[in-house]
């Protein structure tokens, strides 16, 4: 069989492929909230990531890289989140080019109000499946996912340096 190279990992590879395709399909699914705000799954992820990393003062480039979202798409999404009042833009004194995004108080309240629905609908069953894993096993699984992500076509992955010969 041509796909036997995967050996005992075939089930994991198949699950990753299906998961990736499911994420692509779900990425632009629009979730309406009681506040009248409609967000895609990726826009929600952007809001969540900015809230999670609010103390890092990362610029938009670093944030987009952290989520593996192209900068142009990230800019469109954050523009929408700013328009809704969920995010606010800042600059570092003396550096007008670097835009820092922070969740507004409305954004934090919105997130807190809506996160439980997402947790129950999507993640509770997933977390139950992982209950038998030790923290070390979970960390190893996360590492394995990052390793495959770094090697995906189109991924920036780890940068390789090439020495420049002295001229």
Going along the chain from its start, the domains and CATH numbers come out as 8-150 (1.10.10.10)
What is the value of pTM for the model shown? 0.83
For the chain, report the end-to-end CA distance as a whole number of angstroms: 52
pLDDT at 165: 75
Residue whose token pair is 């390789």? 160
Confidence of residue 157 (pLDDT cuts 50, 70, 90): low
What percentage of the chain reaches a pLDDT higher than 70?
A: 93
Check pLDDT > 70 for residue 17: yes
Q: Can you point out the beta strands (E) in 29-109?
A: 30-32, 38-40, 87-92, 95-103
pLDDT at 156: 66
């Amino acid at each position: 069989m041509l796909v036997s190279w995967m050996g005992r990992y075939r089930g994991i590879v198949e699950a990753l492929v299906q998961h990736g395709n499911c994420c692509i399909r779900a990425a632009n699914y629009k979730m309406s909230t009681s506040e009248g705000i409609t967000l895609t799954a990726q826009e929600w992820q952007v809001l969540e990531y900015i809230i999670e990393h609010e103390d890092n003062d990362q610029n938009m480039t670093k944030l987009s890289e952290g989520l593996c979202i192209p900068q142009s798409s990230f800019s469109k999404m954050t523009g929408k989140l700013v328009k809704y009042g969920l995010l606010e833009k800042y600059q570092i004194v003396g550096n007008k080019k670097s835009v820092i995004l922070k969740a507004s108080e409305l954004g934090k309240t919105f997130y807190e109000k809506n996160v439980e629905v997402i947790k129950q609908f999507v993640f509770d069953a997933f977390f139950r499946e992982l209950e038998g894993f030790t923290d070390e096993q979970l960390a190893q699984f996360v590492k394995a996912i990052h390793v495959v992500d770094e090697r995906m076509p189109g991924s920036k992955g780890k940068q390789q340096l090439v020495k420049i010969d002295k001229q």
